[in-house]
A and B are shown apart, each in its own frame.
Chain A
Amino acid sequence: MPFQKKEFPDKFAALSKEDKVGLLRTMVRIRAFESRVEELFLNRRIPGFVHLYIGEEAIASGVMANLSKNDWITSTHRGHGHAIAKGAQIHRMMAELFGKTTGYCKGKGGSMHIADFSVGMLGANGVVGGGYNIAVGAGMSSMIKKTDQVAVCFFGDGASNRGTFHEAMNIASVWKLPVIFVNENNQWASTTPTSFATSVARIADRAKGYGMEGYTVDGNNVIEVYNAAAALVEAARKGKGPALLECLTYRIKGHYVGDPEKYRTKEEVQKHFTENDPIIRYADWMKGKGLIDDAALATMKAEAEKEVADGEKFAEDSPLPEKEDAYNDLFSFSPSEFPEVVK
C-alpha cells in the first residue's frame, strides 16, 4: 500500500530505554490477552462474541504512550487493545468478558462495552462510528475547562463511511477541538474490503474535506505511530485543533472469533502475519539496537501470560450477577428527589 510519508520529528529517539521497552511490553500484554481470549471463546468459556486486536497492537501502544490518565479515548468493538494500553486492568477486563460482577461493567457490558473512566477510557462501543461524537464532547469539555487534555477517537476503515464521521470531523474542525481521530485501517470492514467500500484510497485524504490535517503511517511500525501521535497530540494540546491519523494495518483474525473468513485466503493472512507482525518487527529492531535480548523478551512474554492467567483465575473465581442485578444502574436516583417547592 503506497502512501505519501510525512516525516514527523523523532520524539521516539528521546525516550528512555525503559519507555522503549514499555512500548513493546504493552504490545506483548495485548497479544497475550487476545490470544487467551480467543482460546477461551473457542472453548465456550466466554459468551457473546469477541473481536480481536491481534496484529494491530502497535497502534494502541504507540498512540497511548503519548497520553496521560487525564486524557480520554473512545474505542470500538475491537477495543481490548485500547483498554489495556490506556491502563485498564486485565483482571477486570477478563471478569467482564466472563460476565462477572467484578468486571468493569459488572457483567452487563461484555467485550464491546468495556470502559474504565478512572483512566480516561470512555468506553468501547458496539455501534460502528459511535465514538466520534463522544470524543468531540470530551474535547469540548477540555476546551471549556481550559485544560490541555486531549481526546483520541479510535475508529476503523469501515467506520469512516458512517455519517457520524462527517458530523464529528466537521464540528471538531470548526471548533478547533483537541481531538485526534485515529483510523485503524485494517483493510477489512467485517467481510468487505476497504477498497471495495471506500471512495478514497487513503482515509487520511478525507481530512482535507474538513480543513484538517491528515496523515498516513505504517500502523505496524510502533515507532512511526508513536512519532506521528506525539506530534499531533502536542499540537492539539497547544490549541492547534484536531487531526486525522490513518494507521495502515491488517486484521490478522476474522471479524469475530469463529468467522469462517470465506472472503480471503489463509495464505493472504499468513503472509501479513509472518512478514508484518508489529511485535516481531519492533522486537527485532530493539534487539538490533541492543535494547532487549531473547531472554528478556521471553521473560516479558511469560510475565504477560501470567498476568492474563491470573486475570482469568480472578474472573473464574468471581461471582456471577444475581438476577435482580439486571435492574441496577439504569437510572441515577440520588439527586432526583426534588420536591415541588416554592422557596
Chain B
Amino acid sequence: MAIITYRDAIRDALKEEMARDEQVYLLGEDIAQFGGSYKTCVGLFEQFGKERVRNTPLSEMAVVGCALGSAMLGKRPVAEIMYVDFTACCMSQIVNEVAKTRYMYAGQVEIPMVIRTQGGAGRASAAQHAQSLEAWFTHVPGLYVVMPSTPYDVKGLLKTAIRDNNPILFIEHKLLYNSKGEVPEQEYTIPLGKADIKRPGKDVTILTWSRCVEFSLGAAKELEKEGIDVEVVDLRSLKPLDEETILSSVEKTGHVVVVHEAVKNSGFGAELVALINEKAFDSLDAPIQRVAGEEVPMPFNPRLEAMAIPDSKKVANAVKKVLSL
C-alpha cells in the first residue's frame, strides 16, 4: 500500500478512468493547465489533452447542462463545480434536468455523469465558500450523493461513480485534500451505498460522513480512555444509503449520535433519526443526539468558524449525553 493524499487519490481515480474509457472527459472552471482550484486535476490536461480536460467559462449552468447533453449521447462527463456553494448557480440544471431526465423520458437514455464538487469549512472561506449542502441533493429523487472521507474511499468511490450510469453528486471536503492514507497500488473500486465501519464498538453508534468522520474518530479515541467503546459508521454515500449497516449497528449499541457539518436544521441527520425511529425504535435505549453545524452562515473569523461546526469535543459530549453520563 502506498500512502497518498486525498487529493492525489482523486487525481489517480480520474486518470485511471480516463485511460480505461475514452468516453470519460472532464469539464469545469480552471481545471486544465491550472489543474483545478484544489489541484485535483494536475497533469491530466498534459496527459489527455484539451478535448478531454476542458476548461469552461464561468458558467455553471452551461457546465452541468453540457455534461447532461453529452451524457445523453454516450459520453461520460465528470463536471467540476468549484464549490458546492456554486451549485446554487446551476440548481435548475441539476434538479430539473439532470435528476429528472432518465425518469421523465422513461429510461430512453442513461445519464452517466458525475458532478464533482467540494464543500465544508475550515479555511476561513466565509459564508459563500464553506457550506455543506448535501441535503439539497438527497432531497431530489434521481440523484446519488457520495461524500468520501479518506484517500482509500475517495479513489474507489470516484472510480465507481464514473462507471455508474446514474447522475452522481460527488462532494469532497476541502479540508481533506491534504489528508493522507493508505491506498492499494492495484486497481480497486468501492460499491456505492455501502457504509464503512471506521471503528467498531459496542456502546454507541456514531453515524457520520466526510470530514466529521475525523472528529468522530477523535472523540472515540478520547472516550476509549474513559472505557466508552464507540462505533464510527462512515456512511460514505448518503444515496444510495446503507440502511442495513446503520440498523444493525443501532441494534447492537442502542445508542446513536449523528454527526455532520451541515447546519442541523433540515440536515440529513434528521433523515437518519427518522429512519431509525421508523425501523429500529425498539432498539433505542436513549433519544438520538445530533451534532451539526450552527444555524448561521459560515463566519470568516477562524475562531467563529470553528465554533460553527462540530469538533471532537462536541462529539464526545454528545456521546456522553446519549449514555446519560
Q: What residues make up the interface of A, taking CB atoms closer than 8 Å to B?
A: 72, 74, 104-106, 108-109, 113, 115-117, 122-123, 125-127, 130, 132-141, 144, 151, 163-164, 167-168, 170-171, 174, 328-332, 334-343
Contact = CB atoms under 8 A, between A and B. Distances in A.
A123 B142 contact: no
B106 to A, nearest CB: 4
A141 B74 contact: yes
Nearest to A135: B69
Contact of A338 (B57, B70, B189): B189
20 contacts: A105-B105, A122-B72, A123-B101, A126-B96, A130-B96, A133-B61, A133-B69, A136-B65, A140-B69, A141-B73, A151-B69, A164-B65, A331-B102, A331-B142, A332-B112, A332-B165, A335-B164, A342-B186, A342-B187, A343-B187
Interface stretch (B4-12, B190-198, B256-264, B284-292): B190-198
A233 to B, nearest CB: 18
A90 B183 CA distance: 55
Contacts of A151: 69
A108 B61 contact: no
Nearest to B102: A329
B259 to A, nearest CB: 24
Contacts of A117: 72, 105, 108-109
Contact of B59 (A74, A122, A171, A330): A171
A171 B57 contact: yes
B227 interface: no
A316 B34 CA distance: 58
Given A115-B108, A164-B61, A144 B68 contact: no
A326 to B, nearest CB: 10
A336 B192 contact: yes
Nearest to B98: A134
Given A104-B105, A123-B105, A342-B186, A334 B165 contact: yes
Contacts of B74: 141
Q: By CB atoms of chain B within 10 A, which of A104, A116, A134, A329 has the most?
A: A134
Contact of B51 (A108, A109, A144, A337): A144
